[in-house]
């Protein structure tokens, strides 16, 4: 039989996250004597500590290369199911920062919104476990399982409030996801049948020497796998569940979906593409490029006339995914990770601001934001900053440079048409965010939004704003993540 | 207070110009320059100045006329004195710039500043519709010419690799470049001096204050064209084609303008057309391409400055006292020679001016005109076609000039015996004329401030003829005198019979103006509407349609978001299949 | 047995599953259709594994897929329960609370 | 020393803006305007100090020119020859550097920017849009100043792009918030059209920059100026077209000008002044700075088309002016025509044309700034900028303002002796004598058409004077509230009036700055 070996440091972070998840669940279940507030605090701290450990680990081990679950291959170098490498480190950093942000965001509204604390954090950590595994996975089985470990807790979280809207959102996300899993697995089965292996490197090696007929089968199989991921990251035309689910879920969960779940999907797709399922010159890359063009155009266009803040963010996040897919289609991991990092920080901030407003104005309409520059200048300034970063205009240089990197990747890969589509979408995207910004500036407002914002929210939003500002001044940090 | 200061400054500046001319008289030609920049490797831009005989002559003319005008204006202009005086001063300064400049661009600055000053001064009475329209027309037509002038500067400057006037004409240049360049310069000259086909602005510029007309017609603006050709004579002489064109333009213009003047029914309009005609005589002299021709033209310029300035100042007095310079109005004051008696100085000086204009022997115009004819005869003797054309045209023009001078003189100051008090030749316009007899007793000659310049210019209109030394060619003098006499007699006999036949075509000035209106102004209006419509309905429509399409698409996507998860799933499946097909198509 | 037969069967199964997902309204039926699709995948995996004799990778993955399907069904039934509690029915196409609300747009236009 | 001055030029306005925003609302608008005035005044002085410093003989321009090219070609247009040079790495992985440098092409424009912002702040001391919020307005103006000066000082393509984009959102806000208060939807639409078209253009421009980077491996303008990209087809051509389109939107050239009339017409006075006076220059400056030196061959390929569109802009802009009934719209359309001249000058690729374009840039900034100030003054007094509603005979009602308006119109139509002339004259001379590799016959035809455009320019300005200033005062009695030129207006307009005369009569000071072209 074959021998396997593992560098346990490589899987330390997923392991700790999983253990943390269980611990959180246990603490919440068995420590009934404590008040809800205390339990909330403890659970939050515990979760944060676990995630912080992950971040520290990533920081300490950045630049390292640690394989796990490897076996010697029949031909070529050893085959590994799981690898920790700079790309993984970058993705983990993004995912963990996203997770930490969601935890932070959850501190100031969760109790009020009737969500069970222990389960929530358990599910969050479980999903993070899956996400981190996904970013390091190097074989199809791990990839699929990890993806499910991300997805299933997410649906549970969507429905965690156990209300009418939440259940509908969960149902939609669930059905679409299950279909996508089935489609992806169908593709995986054919990929396996054609190449005889589940290891990405081996598949990539064998794909090159395939005879044309099998090559077509492999192409279709790859397409199915990509479509499966496209469901997860809500690329057009597999996006329709997303706005409904985002609106239906509690806002913390929406943030989680937008930040962690989506990043995990992108991470998985990135792994697939860079590991060789879609090598340079493959038509699968063309497919991804088409998906990118479609996604950004439809997402931005649909966001153009939205009147609810969350729905606008939902559609605009579809547009952002389109931009993410563009460098992904040419296999530029650096640009993808950079974009993802900026997107995660800014989305956290934007949702944080929206959460503050929605707590007091549950309607969540854009008109609720009218005149906020005068009534809540700090919050308004932060929100405007986040939106400008999303649009990719100065002073949001983080957004500008990540978009710039995406453009550069696409241009360097000679995909002129995609670059033009992206340019047009920069314009549409700007139009989307400008509508919101205009509402913020619109004076005089009849009933401007003005409250005492909770300290955690202030801290959280300022942190995001500060981080974004730092990233704007020194965008090189973004692009150093995965190298 | 400010007005007074400006008046003092204006008169002072004019006197300064006269003084400069006096000081420079007889001094050797000098050149100097100021500033400068090299552009590229080919062109040196700077402000260069020169003084020579021509400069002195022009400075003298400009200085004297402008002094007269400034002084006269003190009595004439009542409102907006500061801006008026400032502009007249600027006008003079611009002409001085033209005269002393040795650089084509510096010259152009003066050239166009004059244009804009004339625009502003013609529009001095901006309450009046005709003044507004006339001012605009004057500026636009001269500017059209100026564009040609600018291009001419380019062609010559690039051809000779210099924009310095004194260096032009030296150095090799291709003949056709020279021809094109000089013809383009000619376009500017034609525009500025109101020659055919850019003649229509000058008569329409008459709503401006009369002293301004005097300034424009006598010494500055229109004379600048003649000056320019005289200044660049060595260049123009090389370009025979251009001179021929100039000759044709000049001859057509002098006959055209004189015939228009014969039918005009307003003193200033007659004078305006006569200016056009007289300028054409100068150009005709220049077009001969000989030294004598140039000398004759400048002589004509000098005398013309005196008598035309005088005539406009006289017309100014008429306007000032009567309120109108139309024949029909002025005729009401002719009962018992009222206007002659009440406006004695005006009558006398105007008679002198008209005599000079008509070429009555002994007056300045007679000598200068004869010198042009003489120069033309010198050419024609050698079998030059241009010489003959000029000769004949000038002679015919002499007769026509005498006709309209006498006609104007008689109709304005004398009551025709044939129609004593009856409805007369000009009353077609105004059926109520002569029914109410105006109170002629209120007529007063102007103040001494107005009369002194007129007297000075009247002396000039007589005396300047002798400055060049009297060298009469008796035959030519005789012929022109006879022709003038014939013209004058014809006018007298018509007046005596109380008739003033004005052919429709002449009265409409050959319909040039309406034709231009239809050919250029109206189409430009259409084009303007087209441009706006294009922006609004074509380019703008694209932009609006883009926005609209975005909104529609957005609404469409909203509609697709039905909330039915099975629709979503179906869309996804269809999308996946479509994607597979698309990728297959691209792949194969 | 030639490889093509189980593969064809799998395709047929998968298509039936897709049809079921798209055509049936009851969420429980939908879940069953998903099961069909996943089983098609399993059939594929096992068939390919038998075709390639070297190791048992395909069968292993098939086991994983079965587990995965179980987990999905578990969660799915929980969500169906929730749906039923909220809406009083389990029709997938009848839960439309979260569709785009046109009246909101009208409201915004009004202001 | 100079380096710090340059940094200050860029950083101080934004920092001041931040401070202004940080001040409590009760601080008062006057104080904000005062702060803005002082800061922008200091910046003006700083820019002049920098400029003065550069005119010293230690400028390395000439020897560098000889150094790189044994015998220089007839034109090395627009190449950056840095005097003050700040160059630090910024984003190494993308090849982006924080590289600032100024030379005599950029410094006059920087000084113009500082001047116009100063005048806007001075103007705002007394005269503010009805909606108030002057503090934010001043802050936004200062941010715009940062963006514009940064664009003029950037020596890295990406940095250029970043600064180019900085001005967009502030300008959008200026139009959207302080714009025409009678037409809320209109000003929103105008502002949005402005920002969206510009963003699309600049995104396309960015694609061009990336193509350059792919081809040359650097974004550095100094390096690219010394090693221009050869070849007039393929990738360089695509890059040139993309950059030209992007800059043409900003400039704007026909038919991409459609945002301009609305934006100018709806913007508040200070917004219009900056928009016309400074922001349009970003486009032409970019063309001179990037297209010509970096992509000379490709630019030569597109130059005839560029020139053609420019001439169409001249004619179409002028014709459109003839049919306008709104003062601000008319002046806005006149900008289309004038920028057309600048485009033509750039397209000639000759020293004369470039000198002309640069000169016309400055002249247009000053004159159109003055025109918009005057239009704003008239609009403030009548609460409308519609010619028919204002009525005629302004000479009788507001003699000083209308006199200045006439003056500004004459300057704008290119009257010799005023600033507008030299630029247009040199542009036409450049078109008569274009670079050797361009089709001369085409350019001469274009020159003739552009000359006719100059006549049309005169026509519409005279029409404006006739419709607005002249007329029978009896039919248009003076309004009770109409006060003629106030003191603050006098102070604001005077520098522009004086500069117009100075630049018109003494062009040599400026032209001598550009002898290396």
Cβ–Cβ pairs < 8 A, chains A and B: 82
pLDDT of residue D67: 38
pLDDT of residue C108: 66
Which of residues B238, B263, B282 is at a domain's end? B238
Higher pLDDT, D61 or B544: B544
For residues B165 and B248, membership in a common domain is answered with: no
**Which residues 523-552 on chain B approach chain A with CB closer than 8 angstroms?**
550-551
In a domain, B380, yes or no: yes
Under the banding of pLDDT at 50, 70 and 90, the label for residue D63 is very low
How far is residue D138's CA from residue D147's CA, in Å, rounded to a whole number? 14
pLDDT of residue B436: 57
Residue B420 has pLDDT above 70, yes or no: no
Residues A236-270 pLDDT 10s: 888 889 999 999 898 889 999 999 999 999 999 99
Selecting from C18, C21, C96 the residue whose C-beta is nearest the C-beta of B564 gives C96
Give the mean model confidence (pLDDT) for residues A462-469. 94
Distance from the Cα of B124 to chain D's closest Cα (Å) equals: 10
How far is residue D39's CA from residue D8's CA, in Å, rounded to a whole number? 11
Under the banding of pLDDT at 50, 70 and 90, the label for residue D56 is low
Place of tokens 């104007």: B408
- Residue A358 sits in which domain range? 280-483
How far is residue A142's CA from residue A136's CA, in Å, rounded to a whole number? 9
Q: What DSSP letter does each residue of D39-94 carry, written as one string?
A: HHHHHHHHHHHHHHHHTSTT--HHHHHHHH-SS--S--TT----SEEEEEEEEGGG
Q: Cα separations (Å) of D411 from B110, D124, D366, D491?
A: 15, 25, 10, 19
Which residues in chain D touch residue B122, judged by CB atoms under 8 angstroms apart? Answer: none
How far is residue B303's CA from residue B283's CA, in Å, rounded to a whole number? 15
In a domain, A138, yes or no: no
How far is residue B345's CA from residue B350's CA, in Å, rounded to a whole number? 8
In a domain, B132, yes or no: yes
Q: Is D350 on the interface with B (CB under 8 A)?
A: yes
Optimal mutation site among D191, D320, D436, D511, interface B, most CBs of chain B within 10 A: D320
Are the beta carbons of B539 and D506 separated by less than 8 Å?
no
Q: Is D448 on the interface with B (CB under 8 A)?
A: yes
Q: Is D415 on the interface with B (CB under 8 A)?
A: yes
The answer to whether residues D163 and D169 touch, using CB atoms and an 8 Å cutoff, is no
pLDDT of residue D142: 93
How far is residue A46's CA from residue A20's CA, in Å, rounded to a whole number? 8
Residue D69 has pLDDT above 70, yes or no: no
pTM of the full predicted structure? 0.92
Are the beta carbons of C21 and B559 separated by less than 8 Å?
no
Give the mean model confidence (pLDDT) for residues A2-14. 79
* Residue whose C-alpha is closest to residue B390's, from B402, B378, B373: B373
Are the beta carbons of A424 and D200 separated by less than 8 Å?
yes
Which residues in chain C touch residue B572, judged by CB atoms under 8 angstroms apart? Answer: none
In a domain, B14, yes or no: yes
In a domain, B537, yes or no: yes
How far is residue B257's CA from residue C108's CA, in Å, rounded to a whole number? 71
Distance from the Cα of D283 to chain A's closest Cα (Å) equals: 18
**Which residues 520-559 on chain B approach chain D with CB closer than 8 angstroms?**
524-525, 527-532, 534-535, 539-540, 543, 547
How far is residue C50's CA from residue C48's CA, in Å, rounded to a whole number? 5
Residues B224-248 pLDDT 10s: 899 999 999 988 988 889 999 999 9
pLDDT of residue A281: 72
CATH number belonging to domain C4-110 = 1.10.287.3510
Under the banding of pLDDT at 50, 70 and 90, the label for residue D57 is very low
Written in H, E and C, the secondary structure of D163-216 is: HHHHCHHHHHHHHHHHCCCCCHHHHHHHHHHHHHHHHHHHHHHHHHHHHHHHHH
Give the mean model confidence (pLDDT) for residues B307-312. 91
- Cβ-based neighbours of A63, under 8 Å, separated by 6 or more: A86, A89
Are the beta carbons of B569 and C21 separated by less than 8 Å?
yes
List residues of chain B with CB under 8 Å from any CB of chain C. Answer: 558-559, 561-567, 569-570, 573
Q: Is C93 on the interface with B (CB under 8 A)?
A: yes
Distance from the Cα of B447 to chain D's closest Cα (Å) equals: 29
Give the mean model confidence (pLDDT) for residues A205-214. 83
The answer to whether residues A304 and B550 touch, using CB atoms and an 8 Å cutoff, is yes
Chain D: partners with 3+ C-beta pairs within 8 Å: A, B
Please list, residue by residue across C70-108, b when 16 or more beta carbons sit within 10 angstroms of its beta carbon and e when fewer do.
eebbebbebbbebbeebbeebebeebebbbbbeebbeeb
For residues B77 and B173, membership in a common domain is answered with: yes
Which of residues B456, B485, B507 is at a domain's end? B507
* Residue whose C-alpha is closest to residue A144's, from A181, A96, A117: A181
Eight-state DSSP code of residue B539 = I
Residues A158-170 pLDDT 10s: 988 888 888 899 9
pLDDT of residue D443: 94
For residues B247 and B217, membership in a common domain is answered with: no
How far is residue B210's CA from residue B27's CA, in Å, rounded to a whole number? 35
Are the beta carbons of C97 and A308 separated by less than 8 Å?
no
How far is residue D506's CA from residue C94's CA, in Å, rounded to a whole number? 80
Optimal mutation site among B555, B575, B577, B581, interface A, most CBs of chain A within 10 A: B575
pLDDT of residue D62: 43
Are the beta carbons of A394 and D162 separated by less than 8 Å?
yes
How far is residue D117's CA from residue D100's CA, in Å, rounded to a whole number? 21
Across B303-312, D227-236, D281-290, least confident range: D227-236
How far is residue D433's CA from residue A354's CA, in Å, rounded to a whole number? 61
Give the mean model confidence (pLDDT) for residues B509-528. 88
pLDDT of residue C54: 66
Residues A310-324 pLDDT 10s: 999 999 999 999 999
Are the beta carbons of D176 and A422 separated by less than 8 Å?
no
* Residue whose C-alpha is closest to residue A279's, from A219, A192, A350, A340: A219
Q: Is C87 on the interface with A (CB under 8 A)?
A: yes
Residue D360 has pLDDT above 90, yes or no: yes
> What is the three-class DSSP state of B231?
helix
> What is the three-class DSSP state of B500?
coil
Selecting from C71, C92, C96 the residue whose C-beta is nearest the C-beta of A152 gives C71
User: How much is the ipTM here?
Assistant: 0.90
Optimal mutation site among A171, A199, A249, A367, interface C, most CBs of chain C within 10 A: A171
For residues B234 and B335, membership in a common domain is answered with: no
The answer to whether residues A232 and B552 touch, using CB atoms and an 8 Å cutoff, is no
The structural domain count of chain A equals 1
Contact: chain C with chain D (3+ CB pairs below 8 Å): no
Are the beta carbons of B127 and D415 separated by less than 8 Å?
no
Percent of chain B scoring above 70 in pLDDT: 95
pLDDT of residue D64: 40
Higher pLDDT, D82 or B528: B528
- Residue B422 sits in which domain range? 239-507
In a domain, A393, yes or no: yes
How far is residue D80's CA from residue D289's CA, in Å, rounded to a whole number? 7
Are the beta carbons of B563 and C18 separated by less than 8 Å?
no
* Structure-token pair, residue D33: 């305007």
The structural domain count of chain B equals 3
How far is residue D366's CA from residue D277's CA, in Å, rounded to a whole number? 6
Could you state, in order of their start, the residue ranges of all structural domains in chain C?
A: 4-110
In a domain, B512, yes or no: no
Which residues in chain C touch residue A183, judged by CB atoms under 8 angstroms apart? Answer: 37
List residues of chain A with CB under 8 Å from any CB of chain D. Answer: 334, 374, 388, 393-395, 397, 400-401, 404-405, 407-408, 411-412, 416, 419-420, 422-424, 426-427, 430-431, 434, 437-438, 441, 443, 475-476, 479-480, 483
Are the beta carbons of D323 and B119 separated by less than 8 Å?
no
Cβ–Cβ pairs < 8 A, chains B and D: 140
* Residue whose C-alpha is closest to residue A100's, from A470, A460, A457, A479: A460
How far is residue A37's CA from residue A421's CA, in Å, rounded to a whole number? 50
Q: Which residue of B has its CA nearest to A311?
A: B558
């Amino acid at each position: 039989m074959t021998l396997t070996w593992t560098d346990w440091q490589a899987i330390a972070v997923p392991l700790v996250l999983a253990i943390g998840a269980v611990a959180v669940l246990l603490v919440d279940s068995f420590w009934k004597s404590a008040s809800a507030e205390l339990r909330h605090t403890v659970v939050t701290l515990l979760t944060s500590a676990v995630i912080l450990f992950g971040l520290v680990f990533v920081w300490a081990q950045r630049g390292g290369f640690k394989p796990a679950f490897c076996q010697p291959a029949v031909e070529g170098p050893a085959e590994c199911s799981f690898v920790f490498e700079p790309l993984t480190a970058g993705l983990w950093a993004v995912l963990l920062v996203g997770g930490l942000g969601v935890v932070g965001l959850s501190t100031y509204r969760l109790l009020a919104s009737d969500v069970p604390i222990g389960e929530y954090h358990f599910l969050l950590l479980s999903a993070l476990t899956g996400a981190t595994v996904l970013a390091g996975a190097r074989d199809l089985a791990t990839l699929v399982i990890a993806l499910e470990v991300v997805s299933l807790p997410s649906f549970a979280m969507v429905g965690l409030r156990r209300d009418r809207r939440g259940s509908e959102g969960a149902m939609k996300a669930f059905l679409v996801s299950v279909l996508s899993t089935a489609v992806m697995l169908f593709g995986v089965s054919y990929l396996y049948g054609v190449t005889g292996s589940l290891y990405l490197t081996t598949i990539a090696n064998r794909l090159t020497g395939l005879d044309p007929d099998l090559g077509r089968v492999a192409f279709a199989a790859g397409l199915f796998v990509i479509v499966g991921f496209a469901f997860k990251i809500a690329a057009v035309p597999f996006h329709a569940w997303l706005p409904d689910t985002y609106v239906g879920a509690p806002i913390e969960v929406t943030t989680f979906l937008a930040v962690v779940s989506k990043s995990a999907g992108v991470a998985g797709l990135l792994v697939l593409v860079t590991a060789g399922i879609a090598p340079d010159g493959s038509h699968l890359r063309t497919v991804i490029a088409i998906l990118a063009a479609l996604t950004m155009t439809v997402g931005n266009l649909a966001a153009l006339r939205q009147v609810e803040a969350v729905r606008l963010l939902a559609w605009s996040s579809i547009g952002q995914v389109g931009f993410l897919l563009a460098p992904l289609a040419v296999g530029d991991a650096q640009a993808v990770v950079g974009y993802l990092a900026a997107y995660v920080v800014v989305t956290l901030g934007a949702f944080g601001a929206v959460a503050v407003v929605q707590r007091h104005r549950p309607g969540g309409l854009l008109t609720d934001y009218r005149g906020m520059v005068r009534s809540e200048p700090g919050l308004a300034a932060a929100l405007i900053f986040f939106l400008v970063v999303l649009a990719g205009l100065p002073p949001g240089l983080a957004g500008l440079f990540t978009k710039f990197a995406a453009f550069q990747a696409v241009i360097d890969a000679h995909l002129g048409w995609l670059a033009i589509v992206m340019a047009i979408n920069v314009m549409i995207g700007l139009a989307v965010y400008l509508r919101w910004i205009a509402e913020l500036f619109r004076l005089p407002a009849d009933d401007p939004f003005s409250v005492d914002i909770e300290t955690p929210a202030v801290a959280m939003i300022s942190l995001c704003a500060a981080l974004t500002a730092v990233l704007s001044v020194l965008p090189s940090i973004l692009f150093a993540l995965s190298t | 207070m400010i007005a007074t200061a400006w008046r003092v400054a204006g008169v002072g500046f004019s006197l300064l110009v006269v003084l400069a001319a006096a000081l420079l008289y007889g001094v050797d030609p000098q050149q100097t320059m100021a500033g400068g920049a090299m552009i590229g490797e080919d062109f040196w831009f700077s402000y260069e100045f020169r003084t020579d005989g021509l400069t002195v002559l022009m400075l003298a003319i400009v200085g004297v006329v402008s002094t007269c005008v400034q002084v006269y204006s003190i009595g004439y202009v009542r409102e907006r004195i500061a801006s008026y005086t400032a502009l007249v001063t600027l006008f003079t300064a611009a002409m001085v710039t033209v005269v002393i400049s040795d650089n084509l661009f510096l010259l152009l600055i003066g050239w166009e500043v004059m244009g804009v000053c004339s625009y502003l001064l013609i529009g001095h009475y901006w309450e009046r519709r005709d003044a507004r329209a006339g001012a605009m027309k004057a500026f636009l037509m001269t500017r059209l010419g100026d564009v040609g002038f600018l291009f001419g500067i380019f062609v010559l400057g690039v051809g000779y690799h210099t924009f310095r006037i004194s260096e032009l004409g030296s150095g090799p240049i291709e003949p056709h470049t020279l021809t094109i360049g000089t013809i383009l310069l000619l376009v500017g000259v034609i525009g500025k001096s109101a020659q055919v086909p850019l003649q229509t602005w000058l008569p329409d510029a008459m709503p401006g204050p009369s002293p301004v007309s005097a300034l424009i017609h006598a010494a500055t603006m229109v004379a600048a064209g003649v000056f320019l050709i005289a200044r660049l004579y060595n260049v123009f002489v090389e370009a025979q084609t251009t001179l021929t064109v100039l000759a044709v333009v000049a001859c057509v213009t002098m006959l055209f303008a004189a015939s228009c003047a014969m039918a005009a029914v307003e003193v200033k309009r007659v004078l305006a057309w006569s200016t056009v005609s007289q300028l054409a005589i100068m150009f005709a002299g220049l077009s001969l391409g000989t030294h004598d021709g140039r000398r004759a033209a400048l002589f004509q310029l000098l005398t013309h400055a005196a008598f035309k300035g005088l005539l406009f100042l006289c017309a100014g007095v008429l306007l000032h006292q009567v309120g109108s310079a139309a024949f029909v109005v002025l005729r009401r004051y002719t009962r018992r020679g009222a206007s002659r008696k009440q406006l004695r100085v005006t009558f006398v000086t105007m008679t002198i001016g008209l005599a000079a204009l008509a070429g009555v022997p002994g007056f300045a115009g007679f000598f200068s005109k004869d010198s042009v004819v003489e120069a033309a005869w010198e050419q024609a003797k050698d079998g030059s076609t241009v010489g003959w054309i000029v000769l004949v045209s000038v002679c015919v023009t002499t007769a026509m000039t005498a006709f309209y001078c006498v006609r104007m003189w008689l109709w304005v100051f004398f009551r025709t015996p044939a129609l004593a008090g009856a409805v007369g030749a000009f009353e077609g316009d105004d059926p109520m004329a002569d029914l109410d007899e105006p109170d002629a007793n209120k007529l007063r000659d102007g103040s001494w401030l107005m009369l002194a310049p007129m007297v000075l210019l009247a002396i000039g209109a007589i005396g300047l003829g002798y400055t060049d030394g009297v060298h009469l060619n008796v035959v030519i003098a005789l012929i022109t005198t006879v022709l003038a006499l014939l013209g004058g007699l014809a006018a007298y006999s018509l007046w005596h019979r109380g008739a003033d036949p004005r052919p429709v075509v002449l009265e409409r000035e050959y319909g040039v103006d309406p034709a231009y209106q239809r050919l250029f102004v109206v189409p430009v209006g259409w084009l303007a509407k087209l441009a706006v419509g294009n922006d609004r309905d074509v380019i703008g429509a694209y932009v609006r349609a883009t926005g609209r399409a975005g909104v529609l698409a957005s609404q469409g996507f909203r509609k697709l978001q039905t909330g039915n998860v099975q629709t979503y799933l179906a869309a996804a499946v269809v999308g996946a299949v479509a994607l597979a097909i698309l990728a297959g198509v691209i792949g194969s | 047995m030639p490889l093509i037969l189980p593969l064809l069967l799998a395709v047929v199964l998968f298509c039936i599953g897709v049809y079921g997902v798209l055509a049936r309204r009851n969420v429980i039926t939908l879940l069953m259709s998903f099961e069909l699709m996943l089983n098609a995948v399993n059939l594929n995996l096992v068939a390919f594994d038998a075709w390639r004799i070297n190791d048992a990778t395909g069968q292993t993955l098939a086991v994983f897929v079965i587990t995965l399907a179980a987990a999905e069904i578990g969660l799915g039934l929980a969500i169906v329960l929730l749906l039923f509690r909220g809406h009083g029915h389990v029709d997938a196409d009848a839960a439309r609370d979260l569709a785009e609300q046109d009246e909101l747009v009208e409201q915004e236009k009004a202001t | 020393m100079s380096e710090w001055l340059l940094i200050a030029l860029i950083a101080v306005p934004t920092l001041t803006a931040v401070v202004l925003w940080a001040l409590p609302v009760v601080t008062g608008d006057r104080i904000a305007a005062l702060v803005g005035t002082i800061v922008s005044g200091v910046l003006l002085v700083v820019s002049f100090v920098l400029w003065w410093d550069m005119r010293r003989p230690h400028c390395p321009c000439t020897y560098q020119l000889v150094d790189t090219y044994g015998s220089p070609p007839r034109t090395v247009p627009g190449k950056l020859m840095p005097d003050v040079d700040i160059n630090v790495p910024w984003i190494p992985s993308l090849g982006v550097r924080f590289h600032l440098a100024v030379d005599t092409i950029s410094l006059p424009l920087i000084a113009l920017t500082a001047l116009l912002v100063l005048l806007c702040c001075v103007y705002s001391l007394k005269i503010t849009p009805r909606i108030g919020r002057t503090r934010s307005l001043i802050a936004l103006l200062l941010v715009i100043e940062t963006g514009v000066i940064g664009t003029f000082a950037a020596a890295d393509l990406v940095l250029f792009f970043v600064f180019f984009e900085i001005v967009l959102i502030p300008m959008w806000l200026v139009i959207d918030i302080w714009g025409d208060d009678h037409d809320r939807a209109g000003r929103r639409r105008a502002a949005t059209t402005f920002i969206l078209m510009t963003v699309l253009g600049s995104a396309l421009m960015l694609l061009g920059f990336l193509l350059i980077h792919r081809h040359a491996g650097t974004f550095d303008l100094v390096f690219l100026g010394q090693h221009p990209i050869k070849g007039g087809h393929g990738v360089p051509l695509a890059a040139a077209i993309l950059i030209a389109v992007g800059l043409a939107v900003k400039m704007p050239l026909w038919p991409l000008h459609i945002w301009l009339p609305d934006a100018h017409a709806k913007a508040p006075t200070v917004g219009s002044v900056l928009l016309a006076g400074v922001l349009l220059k970003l486009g032409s400056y970019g063309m001179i700075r990037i297209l010509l030196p970096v992509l000379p061959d490709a630019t030569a390929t597109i130059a005839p088309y560029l020139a053609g569109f420019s001439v169409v802009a001249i004619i179409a802009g002028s014709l459109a002016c003839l049919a306008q009934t709104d003062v601000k719209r008319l002046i806005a359309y006149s900008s289309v025509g004038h920028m057309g001249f600048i485009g033509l000058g750039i397209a000639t690729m000759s020293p004369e044309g470039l000198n002309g374009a640069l000169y016309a840039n400055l002249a247009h900034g000053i004159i159109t700034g003055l025109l918009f100030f005057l239009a704003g003054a008239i609009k403030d007094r009548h609460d409308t900028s519609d010619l028919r509603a204002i009525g005629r005979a302004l000479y009788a009602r507001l003699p000083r303002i209308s006199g200045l308006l006439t003056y500004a119109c004459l300057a704008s139509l290119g009257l010799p002796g005023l600033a507008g002339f030299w630029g247009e004259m040199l542009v036409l001379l450049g078109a008569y004598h274009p670079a050797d590799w361009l089709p001369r016959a085409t350019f001469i035809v274009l020159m003739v058409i552009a000359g006719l455009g100059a006549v049309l320019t005169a026509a519409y300005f005279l029409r404006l004077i006739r419709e607005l200033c002249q007329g029978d005062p009896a039919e248009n009695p003076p309004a009770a509230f109409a006060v003629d030129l106030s003191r603050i207006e006098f102070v604001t307009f005077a520098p522009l009036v004086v500069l117009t005369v100075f630049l018109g009569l003494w062009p040599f000071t400026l032209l001598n700055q550009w002898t290396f072209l």
